[in-house]
Chains A and B, each alone.
Chain A
């Protein structure tokens, strides 16, 4: 470990002032752009200024925090104070899916969408009470480090690395995809170019300084993303209800939505089958799947290596625990605002679009209609004329917009709120910068987790344990680059079900890591063989269920006794299996999402997003049974476990630097 020099202890003392100045500077920059907009600077230029300026700031922080020390590179020297580590974790956690997609999901699914809100917050309780602080005391650089030490060497390490790479890679691909979407929409680049441009931004932050650079940039990114997320709805809430706390005022919006839903049904603007009341539960997920998704997202949170490794960076075990609490507080600020976005947007749509004469819809939607993100009467809602023509073409159309005429892409909800509220473009630019910060920060953390596992666990621990520091860090940086380019390439091919892949990452992490991590700390009798077999069994079952239901559904029905999932609203099967299995192509392999059986079959009616619910219990069972069959772990190992359980004293694993 390095000793804190006078200059660096000043650095930690001044953190508060530095980030306060930074926040002030950022707000001044937003005001400056608002003035430029009034003067007549075109929107495209404002968009470039917003995105360009913020990325330059992140890059400057990244370059300033470059390091040549191993402990700085992997765990930021274990000197990040609890509060700041909490902010960094918040940015690490909240991805493009949270920032852009969450509110849209809540808009579409109503109450059922809250499964994601609950699932992506409650897991931090498990991080703190079961795992995080103990791994901090252990003193690892990576999660596989812990597995290898506790469970007897490189077999456990290798299995842990495979789990880590599988779940982090699917996740990082989704982030880079999100970066591409935002950059292409606001900067007018082509999607493929935008993906690689975003990648450059990500690498600038993480390449030179590893964990240390990522930590300080993520804090800067958190500030941008939370300001960007809260500003539009605070203004909207003040305009509509006179109180600048949207999280409290949207209760009224929900009451109005419920009233409006009744009116729409009564006046024939919506059909009973087509309308899903906003507050009514279990219309989109069966109760089983609703709670299974909550459970898998929560336990997955406590098993994702890029989150666990954030708590390796605090100075003490005590601060690791406090830091988990701060993390959730900072995450909570965004997640308890997302339902407000959904409610305000839905109220706008239900009152000012549905039921209006087709020639009188509000013009804010035309820019989104041009992009094909909002459709009315089956055609892109690009102008009044287009809408009128499209609706005329439908036989017996009453001339007012009905619920079934209106289709919106969920990504639009957050991005269009500034326009719905009639705010200047500068707020839209702010939201774009926030979305980009969310995607970049998560991608940084994930890439670092993958590259660290490959360089530290595979290269240094398994291939060349005598490698000098310079070469270890060089290998780490090269691997970071390779993984990043591979992820960007995968993202640029636009894989079909990218959002489902985020859910899969949680289930995979849960099935592979959670039983071994918990048993490793909480049950001294856990043996190496038990843990390794438990990880393989849990992870294996989860990935089997995923792959079969998604890519080989015909084989799942024919050979593995799978049946159709249920339609949550009616309780009837989603597909008529007898008919679907008789159809040509039913037994195809590697089918696309459009296949009539893909994602629609399974055991016990369980959606494949929640496959961790099958894998995790098996993992626990196998660890328990195999451990009892073997000899109990050595006295030394049991003494080490005792050490992990006590915050005082040296870390168990002392890395030479």
Chain B
């Protein structure tokens, strides 16, 4: 695919959408879920015995961030390839 203004724009629109999706996920796992720590703490994770609210701040959100970053790297690369702006291997 050649570099045309239309292609550039489509690429950037998709990139922006992906960015906003991950920004939303980031906000959810970084903040929203922790607004509910008190009710979540009433739920105890079976076997492990963690109160859920505490667990989310200590591990759950962190795991979500790591997974999101690996996903983002793949998704953005797929967008770049689709529009022919990815780097050569």
Residues on A facing B (Cβ under 8 Å): 111, 114, 117-118, 121-122, 124-126, 128-130, 133, 247-248, 251-252, 254-255, 279-281, 291, 294-295, 298, 316-318, 321-322, 324-325, 328-329, 332, 335-336, 339, 522, 642, 645-648
Query: What are the residues of chain A within 8 A of B84 when measuring CB–CB?
Result: 648
The answer to whether residues A339 and B58 also contact, given A124-B69, A129-B72, A316-B87 and a CB cut-off of 8 A, is: yes
Partner of B73, one of A111, A128, A280, A298: A128
How far in angstroms is the closest Cβ of chain B from A621?
Answer: 19
The answer to whether residues A251 and B48 also contact, given A121-B65, A646-B85, A647-B85 and a CB cut-off of 8 A, is: yes
Cα distance A506–B50 when bound, in Å?
31
User: For the side of the interface on B, what is the size category?
Assistant: 35 or more
How far in angstroms is the closest Cβ of chain A from B58?
Answer: 4
Contact check, B31 vs A294: say whether CB atoms are below 8 A apart. yes
Contact check, A125 vs B69: say whether CB atoms are below 8 A apart. yes
Partner of B49, one of A124, A126, A254, A329: A254
Residues on B facing A (Cβ under 8 Å): 3, 8, 11-12, 15-16, 18-19, 22-23, 25-26, 29-31, 34, 37-38, 41, 44-45, 48-51, 53-55, 57-59, 61-63, 65-66, 68-70, 72-73, 76-77, 80, 84-88
Contact check, A117 vs B62: say whether CB atoms are below 8 A apart. yes
Cα distance A298–B34 when bound, in Å?
15
Contact check, A118 vs B57: say whether CB atoms are below 8 A apart. yes
> Nearest 5 CB-CB pairs, A to B?
A325-B69, A251-B50, A114-B57, A251-B49, A646-B85
The answer to whether residues A647 and B73 also contact, given A118-B57, A122-B26 and a CB cut-off of 8 A, is: no
Contact check, A125 vs B86: say whether CB atoms are below 8 A apart. no
The answer to whether residues A321 and B49 also contact, given A117-B58, A125-B26 and a CB cut-off of 8 A, is: no
Cα distance A126–B19 when bound, in Å?
9
Residue from A118, A133, A329 having most chain B Cβ neighbours under 10 A: A118
The answer to whether residues A122 and B69 also contact, given A251-B50, A279-B41, A294-B31 and a CB cut-off of 8 A, is: no
Contact check, A318 vs B57: say whether CB atoms are below 8 A apart. no
Q: A279-B53, A321-B76 are in contact. List 4 more A-B contacts (CB 8 A).
A: A122-B61, A291-B31, A295-B31, A316-B87
Residue from A248, A291, A317, A325 having most chain B Cβ neighbours under 10 A: A325
Cα distance A118–B30 when bound, in Å?
7
The answer to whether residues A111 and B57 also contact, given A248-B48, A647-B87 and a CB cut-off of 8 A, is: yes
Contact check, B86 vs A648: say whether CB atoms are below 8 A apart. yes
Query: What are the residues of chain B within 8 A of A336 when measuring CB–CB?
Result: 58-59, 62-63
Contact check, A252 vs B49: say whether CB atoms are below 8 A apart. yes
Query: What are the residues of chain A within 8 A of B76 when measuring CB–CB?
Result: 133, 321
Contact check, A118 vs B12: say whether CB atoms are below 8 A apart. no
Cα distance A522–B15 when bound, in Å?
11
Q: Which residue of A lies closest to B50 (CB)?
A: A251
Residue from A294, A316, A321, A322 having most chain B Cβ neighbours under 10 A: A321
Cα distance A255–B48 when bound, in Å?
10
How far in angstroms is the closest Cβ of chain A from B79?
Answer: 10
Q: Which residue of A lies closest to B85 (CB)?
A: A646
The answer to whether residues A647 and B48 also contact, given A125-B22, A125-B26, A281-B53 and a CB cut-off of 8 A, is: no
